[in-house]
Amino acid sequence: MTTTAQPKADKAAASEEFTRKPRSLWTDARRRFWASTVARIGLAITLFLVAVAVISPILISEKSANERDTRNKLLPPSWLMSAEQRAEASREVEWGPLTRPFGTDQIGRDLFRRVLLGAPISLTVGVVAVLLAVVFGSLMGLFAGFFGGVIDAVLMWLTNIMLAFPSILLAIALTAISNNPESFSYKLGDFISSLPVLRTLFDAPLANAMIAVAVVEIPIFARIARAAVLSVRNQEYITAANALGVPQRRLLFRHVLPNSLTPILVQMTLSMASAITSVAALGFLGLGAKPPKPEWGSMLSDARNYVVTGQWWYALFPGIAIMLTVLGFNLLGDGLRDALDPKVKA
Amino acid sequence: MVGETPRSTRSQSYLGRLYGALLVLGRVLAYILRRFIAIIPVLLGISLLVFLLLRTIPGDFAIVALGERSTPEQRAALRHQYKLDRPWFIDLEGGNIFDTQYVNFIANFVQGDFGESLKTKRAISTELLKERFPATLELSFFALLIAVGVGVTTGVLAATRRGSWLDAGSMLLALIGVSIPIFWLGLMMQYLFGVKLHWFDLSQRLSNEMLRSFEPITGVYTLDGILRGRLDVTWDAIKHLVMPSIALATVPMAVIARMTRSAMLEVLSQDFIRTARSKGLTESTTIVRHGLRNALIPVITVIGLQMGLLLGGAVLTESVFSWPGIGTWLLEGIKSRDYPVVQTGVMFVALVFVVINTLVDISYALFDPRIQHR
């Protein structure tokens, strides 16, 4: 009995020794991703921000973040204040060192609450803008690359024109147009800012700025998708599928698209960073969210007048918030690129 | 191999060599010409886009120009004067079929006739070419200088001291630098170096008393000060340039530093570096002459890409530092609905952007013999 079992066990042990566990593209990518410090830090920052964005609207009401306290306007962070100063500021509640950790603004609002409430706004703006850009851009690139010829020429002409403008300039020009209630983008912005969840986060000008930024990102995705499709199109499995009589639409969406996904995924992460900065920049220039909205860029736009008079904390914290967010997505994007596409080194 | 004519006999004769040189020159010129012809469709597209953008911006041109209290007749007369009553692209109903808004816009732009600003009533060509563009050019030039100087040096140092605290520290700074919103960095610099330390003025290009006593020539004040023999003006202009150009330089500097480091690391691991070291060259000669020179092509590519981005960043930087360049001009134009200014400004920036990018493209082809002039 044991004699028959023995060789079997040996065989199993031997095969375990000589064959390794099969590794797919994704397991390899995951291994490379976790091996990289940059990627891990990026992921940690991003997850932290997502957590803040989810939790802060639950704990902090927009009303409390907009509450005026004109007696205590432009106060520095409360942990920098002396006990006497804090005692003077106290009225209904006793002020401790952490009552106003980021200080107050020109009408006495709590900057800590406002900066935290800015997180869901900026992250949502980034996600929606990138989704819009990715859908329209990849479709454009997919069609251009797959069909070639006149469609390709016209679509690539369009993307070249859009890439011929410095992106922030184009976004500014587009935002200026969409202030027209007749325009299509204004109506789209109006529609987006009336959707269930987004209603609480966006106002119409912010939605417009976001659309402008999305439009500016479209050509980037169009180019990437086109390049990916061109490199996939002539592979043998596509020829084989074509020869088997797979219809064009199925070929495009079932075979070409999934194989072009990795560069698009990487670019999405990097575009999150640039979309968030651009929307904040528009807000800073006065073309984004309107005042009571705690959007980081428009907070900075208010804060710039107080930099000259020495209230540094007003501009410091929203700026750090933007920087941290952008840093997180940039690191994550770099890490993803190294993990998914080891050939390309940034 | 044996039957092949040795190369030397072919190019031995003087005429043959001249012919060869002319052939290469001709190919290069043809390549440059082709690249410039290739941007014509893009330029046409840009003009179309700008034209359509301007016609969808809310508000009536005539009301902005004449004010709310103007009569309909006055408005109609103004529209007629600016040919805004003409069709957009082609006129099929009698008259000249090309006497249309778009064709006139292109014709005027090509002739350098940009009209006048609705707000200041000044000729746009003067303001653009004598004041706004030189201001932006000066700012971008200094920013590029800082970005390339600091970026390349940092990159080389980080690569040669790989793994040291200098390498780790500078690359961490570079990572942060890429992610910093420059308008915020500008504000923080204003606070620290302007409000707190009083090292620099917060905004503008020159102090007021300088501005009053000085007649610019080119509009690039650092240069004008030297040309006019007013070194105090040049010094004042440089002091005003420091903060905005550093703010504008941050992102490109970080990108250039990272690129230089990775290009240098790749080159330094090559055999010819070991050869250079082993034949007794000094470390600095090895790194600069044999290392950096070979690492430069990807670095130049990145610098070229950054030049275009500088123009975009200039819009934000100028806004923070009230720098009277094209960026602030455009923003004011958009806010006050100064259509001719916006139209000209956007066209001009896009034109400069496209020309720079094309020149950069051509320059790689010249720098890198591996790229064929096809």
pLDDT higher than 60, residue A8: no
Residues B161 and B153: their CA atoms lie apart, in Å, by 12
Rounded to a whole number of angstroms, the distance from the CA of A137 to the nearest CA of chain B is 18
Partner B, chain A 89-128, Cβ-Cβ below 8 Å:
none
User: A12: distance to nearest CA of chain B, Å?
Assistant: 45
Tokens of A288: 């984004």
B155-181: pLDDT as tens digits: 999 998 888 898 888 988 898 888 999
Higher pLDDT, A300 or B61: A300
Strands (E) across chain A are located at: none
- Catalogue the long-range contacts made by B74-82 (C-beta closer than 8 Å, 24 or more residues apart): B82/B115
Please give the DSSP secondary-structure letter assigned to residue A77: P
Please, what are the domains in chain A?
A: 26-59+104-339 (1.10.3720.10)
So what's the ipTM on this one? 0.83
**Section B203-220 average pLDDT:** 80
Supply A38's token pair.
């940059």
Burial of B186 (C-beta count, 10 Å sphere; 0-12/13-18/19+): buried
Q: What is the pLDDT of residue A28?
A: 79
Radius of gyration of chain A, Cα coordinates, nearest whole angstrom: 26
Q: Which chain B positions have a beta carbon within 8 Å of A167's beta carbon?
A: 312
Nearest chain B CA: its distance from A219 CA (Å): 14
More confident residue, A48 or A173: A48
pLDDT band (50, 70, 90) for residue A9:
low
Angle at the Cα of B166 from the Cα atoms of A334 and B298, rounded to 5 degrees: 50
Tell me the two tokens of residue A223.
């180019």
In degrees and rounded to multiples of 5, residue A104 shows phi and psi of -125, 165
Per DSSP, the three-state class of A344 is coil
Tokens of B150: 């600091």
| DSSP 3-state of A57 | helix
What does the pLDDT read at residue A99? 76
Listed by number, the residues of chain B in 217-236 with a beta carbon closer than 8 Å to a beta carbon of chain A are none
Contact B211, B225 (CB under 8 A): no
d(CA B122, CA B127): 7
State residue A21's pLDDT score.
Answer: 67
What does the buried/exposed string (b/e) look like for A284-311 if buried means 16 or more CB atoms within 10 Å of the residue's CB? bbbbbbeeebbbbbbbbbbbbebbeeeb
CA distances for A47 relative to A14, A44, A51, A53, B93, angstroms: 43, 5, 6, 10, 63
Is B219 exposed, middle or buried (CB count within 10 Å of its CB: 0-12, 13-18, 19+)? middle
CA end-to-end distance (rounded Å), chain B: 29
Nearest CA in chain A to B203: A308
Cα B36 to its chain centre, rounded Å, is: 18
CA A211 centroid distance within chain: 14
Decide if B349 touches A, using CB distance below 8 A: yes
Residue B373: is its pLDDT beyond 50? no
Q: Is the pLDDT of residue A33 over 50?
A: yes
Q: Distance (Å, rounded) from C-alpha B342 to C-alpha B348?
A: 10
Q: Considering CB atoms only, which of B42, B190, B334 is closest to A172?
A: B334
Alpha carbons A172 and A54: distance in angstroms, whole number: 30
Model confidence, pTM: 0.84
The pLDDT mean for chain A works out to 83
State pLDDT tens for residues A97-144: 777 888 888 887 888 889 999 999 999 999 999 999 999 999 999 888
Instruction: Name the CA radius of gyration of chain B, rounded.
Output: 26
Are residues A310 and B195, on separate chains, in Cβ contact within 8 Å?
Answer: yes
Give residue-wise pLDDT tens across range B28-83: 888 888 888 888 888 888 888 888 887 777 667 777 777 777 788 888 887 777 77
CA–CA distance, B254 with B166 (Å, rounded to integer): 15
E strand intervals along B143-277: none
- Does any CB of chain A come closer than 8 Å to the CB of residue B147? no
Distance CA B122, CA B117 (A): 6
CB atoms A284 and B183 under 8 Å: yes
Distance, in Å, from the CA atom of B120 to the CA atom of B329, rounded to the nearest integer, reads 12
